[in-house]
Structure 1
Amino acid sequence: LWVAIIGRMESEIADLQNPEVPQCLYWSAEQVADWVSSLGLGQYRDCFLTNGINGRRLVLVDASNLPKIGVHEFQHVQALSGAVRDLLKIESPRWDRRIYLPPRDNLGMYLEMKSKTGKSLDELTYDKFNAKFSNAKWRPPVANMCLLLPPSSDE
């Protein structure tokens, strides 16, 4: 247990020292709720707290799932989803993006991975992610899945 906690703390410290990684990735649900209030949308503070939206889960917040947590007014959905993208430094998804194009950027892919939990993901840092996938081969989707494969040892 202590090894897992120490590993998670070390990865958090490494990410917090990296200027490319948004600091909000490690916010608590309370800090996220405070941020939502600071946007002038305090009426949704409890929605974020009740659903336990912390910094890692904030990565998954977008216009398609905000109504599921209680944000129904269209202008507020737009404002919140845009503010989340700005906060996380990720590009806006384009409706006309071709499926055969490579993934957007490393930071966006890292944040998507980091939004999940588990020992290996808790210990993952942005630097480790970049080292693992810097020479990765992207393969177009097959059966509705995109694959980002680490370089093989025979290359």
Structure 2
Amino acid sequence: MDFLDWTSQDVAQWIESIGFSQYKACFTENFITGRKLIYVNCSYLPRLGINDFQHMKVISAHIRELLGISDVQWSRSVADAPEDDMSVFLKIKSCTGQRAESITYDQIKNICLK
């Protein structure tokens, strides 16, 4: 999970590597680091200045792939568990502090299995 340590410059290089160099400044000027990238999705991208819907879909798919999370299930029942283990882990890791730094994915899996 090296991306959690990415600076906004690292994120900008990544966005360029997936073919969207025109958006590098959108990520650097908004200080989007690897931890903040966890929250970037189609509804967030317009706030960064990315408004092309096709680009938004592709970038969001790449972010989900990078994070190792599945596509959003829009048709799921509200009674279903809202998140998978990886999503819970990434939300915790998006924070700073000793607790967030020390938790591992295996710990989250064990908690979610109970």
TM-score, with length taken from structure 1: 0.67
Aligned to 1:61: 40
Higher strand proportion: 1
Distance 2:2 2:57 in 1: 22
Aligned to 1:123: 102
> How big is each residue's C-alpha offset from its partner over 1:26-65, in whole Å with a ceiling of 9 and x where there is no partner?
2222111101011111111011111111111111010000
RMSD: 1.6
> How big is each residue's C-alpha offset from its partner over 1:42-97, in whole Å with a ceiling of 9 and x where there is no partner?
11101111111111111101000000011111111111101100111100102111
TM-score, with length taken from structure 2: 0.88
Aligned to 1:51: 30
Structure of higher CA gyration radius: 1
Structure 2 unmatched ranges of 5 or more: none
Figure out how many residues of one structure are paired with residues of the other and give that number.
114
- In the TM superposition, what are the counterparts of 1:98-137 in structure 2 within 5 Å? 98-135=77-114
Moved more, 102-111 or 29-38: 102-111
Q: Does 1:32 align with 2:25?
A: no
Q: Does 1:79 align with 2:44?
A: no
Structure 1 unmatched ranges of 5 or more: 1-21, 136-155
2:11–2:34 CA contact under 8 A, matched in 1:
yes
Three-state SS of the structure 1 residue aligned to 2:26 is helix
User: How far 1:134 sits from its partner (Å)?
Assistant: 3.3
Higher helix proportion: 2
Distance 2:33 2:73 in 1: 25
